[in-house]
Amino acid sequence: MIYRLTAYGGETREFTKPVSVRFSADRDAPAHSLEARFPLEPLGSGQRLPEFHTIQVVKDGAVFFRGLIDEQTILVDGDGAGIEVCSRSMAALLLDNEAIPQTYYVPSTRLIYQRHAQPYGFSEFSGKDKAFSTKLQIEKGASEWEVIESFCRDALGTRPQVTFTGELQMEPQDPEAEALFSNCGGIFYASIREEHLRCKRLSQVLVRSERLGGYSTQVWDSQAAGDGILRRRLLNAVDDPKTPVFRGQLLLDKSREQAYQLELACPGERILPLETRARVADPVLGDFEALKVSGISYRLDSAGEQTLVILRKDWEAESDVAG
């Protein structure tokens, strides 16, 4: 991989042999992080490195990651001279900026993009350009990302994401390829963990939808209740344009998604796009179908390279199979 740092004045530095790299991506976190340390040759008298503000990672001739540098440190220690950078993907721009309070009554996909993403350098978006009779109220303190996320959830029924390369996907398209994790003809892994996280599963949500009313709307996860899980949350949905049941079901669905996962430790660099469909063939635990890549954690240092891949259930695919 080539790591290209760019300064405000346009000066660039390229590094091909990092001392260490940490890359992390999670479906529940809009911005992905990249931390790296690169070796430095002695600088000439009076010379200084510029302040870099962006980083690009080029893999196999194509840009793999674009990010904003949050922190830059130049240090000399027992490992020699080096420069360390901490960066986040382009979604950081949407997280770090507050949206102007306003109310939309007939918002369209392009209008939301033009007002809340385009000013920060996003050149295009993926998704249908349609208008919706959905009221979208922006309160003071909401980030630009929260506006886009609310619009996509309520109008499009989607979960937006910003890709590793900085593309805003308001209607994300799942990667066509399917990843097979298998030590016989698939992606090799050194270990596998199957985790049932019952502590994250909810069985009931009580929703309040009227100012003078109580939490009168009940939304249940009958499967969770049948499995002996008793965990309730309260949700205030006053002035929410969506139905109380819709809001409650979103909480239940998210808790169900987070309550089960597979973690595979793969030697080397095995960074896959989030939402990639996946399956696992393990000689001990058996076969796992209808999965998606939910998280990636890549590490490179003196001990070598390793990628942790988090897989969660693709509930839509699982229901299609069951049907």
Q: What is the pTM of this model?
A: 0.88
List, for residues 57-115, the tens digit of each pLDDT value. Answer: 999 999 999 999 999 999 988 878 999 999 999 999 999 999 999 999 999 999 999 99
List, for residues 144-175, the tens digit of each pLDDT value. Answer: 999 999 999 888 888 999 999 999 999 877 66
Residue 9 identity: G
Q: Are strands 20-26 and 33-39 parallel, antiparallel or unpaired?
A: antiparallel
194 φ/ψ angles, rounded to the nearest 5 degrees:
-105, 120
Q: Cα separation of 101 and 69, whole Å?
A: 28
Q: Cα separation of 120 and 122, whole Å?
A: 6
Q: Provide mean pLDDT across the span 303-321.
A: 83
Q: Return the pLDDT at 237.
A: 80
